[in-house]
Chains A and B, each alone.
Chain A
């Protein structure tokens, strides 16, 4: 067993590794990450995950639901640290897995992977508590500076990958051929919660009446203004494109993916500018751009996303950054999805989590190859008025809840979730 495998085993048991080993790990990780571009290319199949926030036992639950590394190819969209009790173990485990299986694990930067934010939201304090000094925090922050800013997923199938046997136990009442299904929502026990057919051209798909979060009927509505309802419906076209993954969203300074590639990313997340926006912005039901209530990044509306996706040959943007009670939320006619992977966020919010599986194109129905900003990329496809053109890849959302209380192994004292008392 190599040192690295031993470190992985130790971290899987939620035990921190010695400082010297962290230093070595971070050094190796930096060497690896420095070779990656600002936008990493990832081939489907891939499982896309949102915020983790130090909820280590829920990360283990995520691996149980999504499959273990390296069997499953993972893409984590940032915010590994802060808020939860085990930022250190969560981030170091992901980093170990990255170093051990570089092409099966993609990590991109979230707005919490920053010196300033981690001093406010817990990771700094946690390192200080667990090691008695800020060294480990410093090593980790140096790694943060090298994390990619985004990823492009290529070769995603427009048809769902057939489910493996255990997931076939309980068939949905909606009997559809797998090839007709665009979106499938799968519960923790493998039962299918909902399937949405790919809409045929010219046919307007009706939104499903049922929330995917069927198991918790009270969880149907999200926060006001977020319009979180968790439902999705099929995209009304048949051509597909690449998927851009980024932690926050778009920037008014970025009109093409190549502009992201030109950024100098190896620095602390700035307070403003393109790099900041990619990590901080949020989609919202507005026209154009708006000021963000977060004080960094921007709000961007449907049209911004549709134009960006069209001009960059994208079928979809996957992002994280915002809590959604149902674990995922598609917006703007499936042009963007928020994936949230921290169940019962902060041990307080009562939400479910989700991961997004994109299958490999095995049937020749390939997602459209990426040509990033190539003006003549449209291959004769006419842009329709509403600018929703490229079909999304088939998407399987696996929804899961917080790890059971007894397996969570909380710290000796009870978790002190803060309220107003």
Chain B
């Protein structure tokens, strides 16, 4: 698309407050339940799932406030003062964030072989990103110049993030070469839709660097107008692309989650994926987790199918690897092993000293029930992941 076509909705006050608010009703595919009562129940469930983002943001701020993580943006996405989480939750937030940092930094980093060897551009697509601050953190570390970053989440979540971002100088003005845009992606209706928004380069506003796409991901595979990648502002098919799902796909029905990943896999050749979700739901701890979350109206259909690290690796192999045979692999670690193996002794000591962690057995049990799973296909763009694998 060309730049002049993109209206800057942020400039119009009305646009700034527009809400999608259409929720799951947008889905036109199979398996949709009709009836008002059901619709209300589904909507309530969606809100409970969306609340998991608030939960995650609070956990992140807790870990940041106590010094586990460095994230100057965490407080911007939480209302009110920081809530202190349990030490094992803080440590888990730390271990999971660090694991993703390691994988993502490896994906983005490039050792120039010669002076005219320019850093190739990479793409990240974060599913159910919510109020995640990762893009802003990468930008603060100057790691955003050869990166195109996309987020997909419910329209209401995107709207909140847009309001917070446009209202904060540190989020919106951090890089002078970029400017905010907002743009109606869904051209099929005239209604007041939540726009896609993000940052484009000031000197070439068709050069999208960051974009939040308001979308109920569940409907993605079933919505014909979206069948082309082009539908989504700035998403490219020709560069190495990493899909991230931090506790997002686990809330979808198993088949639906599979179709969402396949949707991207069918359209992007050089593809990697990182999943972060619970495993081991069959033992007493896991059963209790399922029942405690069910009491909060949160169900995770996929965890009943992918119960072990091996299940998860097979899942990735089935999803993305079978379409190519020129390289790739699947890896998986529990958060407990990541803490043990990936964090240096000095760093462990620093983190240990922040609060003292008395609940060793509980930590081990909790950390055994969460996994980081990653896989990729292709060679070019994934050399660093290949190296990580060999180093372990």
A223-B361, A223-B365, A295-B356 in contact; A344/B288 too (CB < 8 A)? yes
Q: Does B256 sit at the interface, judged by CB under 8 A? A: no
List residues of chain A with CB within 8 A of the CB of B360: 293-294, 322
Interface size on B, as a range, is 35 or more
Contact of A225 among B55, B86, B355, B364 (CB under 8 A): B364
User: Are B370 and A420 interface neighbours, CB within 8 A?
Assistant: yes
B284 touches A216 (CB 8 A): yes
Determine whether the beta carbon of B355 is less than 8 Å from that of A120. Answer: yes
A111 touches B (CB below 8 Å): yes
Confirm or deny: B238 has a beta carbon within 8 angstroms of a beta carbon on chain A: no
Binds A, one of B7-15, B177-185, B190-198, B292-300: B292-300
Give every chain A residue within 8 A of B295 (Cβ-Cβ): 414-415
- Is A332's beta carbon under 8 Å from chain B? no
Asked if residues A350 and B361 are in contact (CB atoms below 8 Å), the reply is: no
Query: What are 19 A-B pairs with beta-carbon distances under 8 A?
Result: A111-B358, A223-B361, A225-B364, A294-B356, A295-B352, A323-B361, A323-B362, A324-B361, A325-B284, A349-B288, A349-B365, A414-B296, A417-B292, A418-B86, A420-B93, A420-B276, A421-B56, A421-B59, A421-B247
Q: Is the CB of A294 within 8 A of B288?
A: no
A346 CA to B283 CA, complexed, in Å: 16
Contact-size category for A: 35 or more
Closest to B353 in A: A295
A294 lies within 8 A of B285 (CB): no
In contact, B357 and A349 (Cβ under 8 angstroms): no
CB contact between A346 and one of B55, B298, B362, B370 (< 8 Å): that residue: B362
> Complex: how many Å from CA A323 to CA B357?
14
Residue in B85, B356, B357 whose Cβ sees the most chain A Cβ within 10 Å: B356
Instruction: For A371, list chain B residues within 8 Å (CB).
Output: none
Contacts of B92 in A (CB 8 A): 420
Contact mask for chain B residues 136-167; partner A; CB cutoff 8 A; 1 contact, 0 none = 00000000000000000000000000000000
Contact of B292 among A223, A294, A415 (CB under 8 A): A415
Complex Cα spacing A415 to B295, Å: 9
Chain B 350-382: CB-based contact to A (< 8 A → 1; otherwise 0): 001101111111101100101000000000000
Give bound CA distance, A216 to B285, whole Å.
Answer: 12
CB contacts (< 8 Å) of A219 on chain B: these are: 283-284
**Whole-angstrom distance between the Cβ of A20 and the nearest chain B Cβ:** 30
How far is it, in angstroms, between the C-alpha of A223 and the C-alpha of B53 when the chains are bound?
A: 30
Contact A349 B86 (CB under 8 A): no
Cβ-based interface call for B70 (8 A): no
Residues of A within 8 A of B229 (CB): none
How many Å from the CB of B86 to the closest CB on chain A?
Answer: 6
Question: Which chain A residues border B59 with CB–CB below 8 Å?
Answer: 418, 420-421
Indicate with 1 or 0, residue by residue over A206-243, a CB within 8 angstroms of chain B CB atoms.
00000000001011011111100000000000000000
Q: Which chain A residue has the least Cβ–Cβ distance from B293?
A: A419
Find chain B residues with CB under 8 A from A223 CB.
361, 364-365, 368
Hey, which bits of chain B sit against chain A, CB under 8 A?
52-53, 55-56, 59, 85-87, 89, 92-93, 96, 247, 276, 278, 282-289, 292-293, 295-296, 298, 352-353, 355-362, 364-365, 368, 370
Q: Are B284 and A350 in contact (CB under 8 A)?
A: yes
Which A residues form the contact surface with B (CB < 8 A)? 111-112, 117, 120-121, 216, 218-219, 221-226, 293-296, 322-325, 344-351, 414-421
Known: A223-B368, A224-B364, A350-B288. 6 other contacts (CB 8 A): A112-B358, A322-B361, A324-B361, A349-B285, A418-B89, A420-B278
Complex contacts, B365 vs chain A, CB 8 Å? 223, 323, 349
Q: Please, how many angstroms separate the alpha-carbon atoms of A99 and B52 in the complex? A: 46
CB distance from B291 to the nearest CB of A (A): 9
Question: Which residues of chain A come closer than 8 Å to B55, judged between CB atoms?
Answer: 421
Cβ A121 vs Cβ B358 within 8 A: yes
Q: How far is the CB of B372 from chain A (nearest CB, A)?
A: 11
- Inter-chain contacts of A222 with B (CB < 8 A): 361
Bound CA span A415–B282, Å: 22
If A348-B292, A350-B283 touch, whether A294 touches B362 (CB-CB below 8 Å) is no
A198 to B93, CA, bound (A): 48
Q: Tell me the complex Cα distance, A346–B288, Å.
A: 11
- Residue in B86, B283, B298, B357 whose beta carbon sits within 8 Å of that of A218 in the complex: B283
Counting from the closest, the 10 A-B pairs by CB-CB distance are: A350-B284, A421-B52, A350-B288, A323-B361, A223-B364, A421-B55, A417-B292, A350-B285, A418-B89, A219-B284
Q: For residue B97, give the distance in angstroms from its CB to the closest CB of chain A.
A: 10
What CA separation (Å) do A418 and B288 show in the bound complex? 12
Residues on the A chain within 8 Å of B292, using CB: 347-348, 415, 417, 419
Q: How far is the CB of B44 from chain A (nearest CB, A)?
A: 14
Q: Which residues of B contact A296 (CB under 8 A)?
A: 356
Write the chain A residue with the least CB distance to B247.
Answer: A421
How long is the Cα–Cα vector from A120 to B354 in the complex, in angstroms?
A: 11
A356 to B361, CA, bound (A): 21
CB distance from B42 to the nearest CB of A (A): 19
Contact of A348 among B285, B352, B370 (CB under 8 A): B285
A111 neighbours in B (Cβ, 8 Å): 358
Contacts of A416 in B (CB 8 A): 296
**Complex: A347 Cα to B362 Cα, angstroms:** 12
Query: How far apart are A300's CB and chain B's nearest CB, in angstroms?
Result: 15
Looking at A216, A344, A350, which has the most chain B CB atoms within 10 Å of its CB?
A350
> Distance (Å) between the CB of A225 and the closest chain B CB?
7
Alpha-carbon separation in the docked complex, A25 to B86 (Å): 30
The residue in chain B whose Cβ has the minimal distance to the Cβ of A402 is: B288
B283: chain A residues at CB < 8 Å are 218-219, 221, 350
Nearest B residue to A421 by beta-carbon distance?
A: B52
Nearest chain-B residue to A112 (Cβ)?
B358
Residues on B with beta carbons closer than 8 Å to the beta carbon of A112 = 358
Closest B residue to A116 by beta carbon equals B356
The CA-CA distance from A349 to B359 in the complex, in Å, is 12
Asked if residues B370 and A345 are in contact (CB atoms below 8 Å), the reply is: no
